[in-house]
Amino acid sequence: MHVKFCGFTQLDDIKAAVKLNADAIGFVFYPPSPRAVTIEQAQILSAAVPAFISVVALVVNMPEDELIELANHVSFDIIQFHGDETPEQCRQLASSVNKRWIKALRVNAEQDTLDSVKMQIDSFAAAGASSILLDAYHQHKYGGTGARFDWSLIPNDSSLPIILAGGLDADNVAATYDLPIYAVDVSGGIESDKGKKDVGKMHAFMKSVKRDRWQNETLSEPSNISS
């Protein structure tokens, strides 16, 4: 299973995530978020991410001119649309900067059904999404709530590969092993404070997910990683 660590604001945290072999590093470009970074910050942080680790730009209802400005100044591989963007808006925005993209769906157990989730995924698949991210719904927030949604609403026959987010940490990620997903996305579950990662928590999370790779490791911090 692939792992995306999201919400970085500190250079040392990036370096630790790289040494732990995270598959993707996410930056939040949504000013109301406590994990938001500026273009100037992202330029420094993204420069510390080597080849073969994907850099993901999380945006929320970002206008096209701002997205173009972002793409012109920050090196990233994938756009994560995390707002109210429609499939067609995602397609047009991603096309304007020639980037692959994923869409976050906020699953609401009070309104959504297995069929409605599948239909939403289908609509973004038809628009060209590379994957879909399922997160918990919150009335006033677009993500990063640390809440978990009803996993029974994850379809088995999704038309897109599914990334699971929402309330994950090293203690509960094992419960995702049998779900029909290919990746997990974590932010708060690896933090000491919002935007500040905890190396021990990152290591424990990777150990829980990459069981074969880490089978001879202990939960203690690796000797080659400093906080």
The residue written with tokens 């096209």 in the block is: 64
Instruction: Indicate if 6 belongs to the active site.
Output: yes
Contact yes or no for 117/107 (Cβ under 8 A): yes
Instruction: Indicate if 135 belongs to the active site.
Output: yes
Question: 115, 135, 150, 212: which one is catalytic?
Answer: 135
Region of residue 172 (left: phi > 0; alpha: psi -120 to 50; beta: else): alpha
Question: 6, 23, 112, 185: which one is catalytic?
Answer: 6
Q: Provide the 3-class DSSP secondary structure of residue 17.
A: helix
Cα 137 to its chain centre, rounded Å, is 15
The alpha carbon dihedral of 89, 93, 98, 102 has a sign of: negative
Q: What is the rounded distance in angstroms from the CA atom of residue 13 to the CA atom of residue 85? A: 30
Contact yes or no for 183/161 (Cβ under 8 A): yes
> What is the rounded (10 degree) CA torsion for 32, 35, 40, 45?
-160
Q: Provide the 3-class DSSP secondary structure of residue 25.
A: strand
The residue written with tokens 């905890």 in the block is: 198
Active site residues: 6, 135
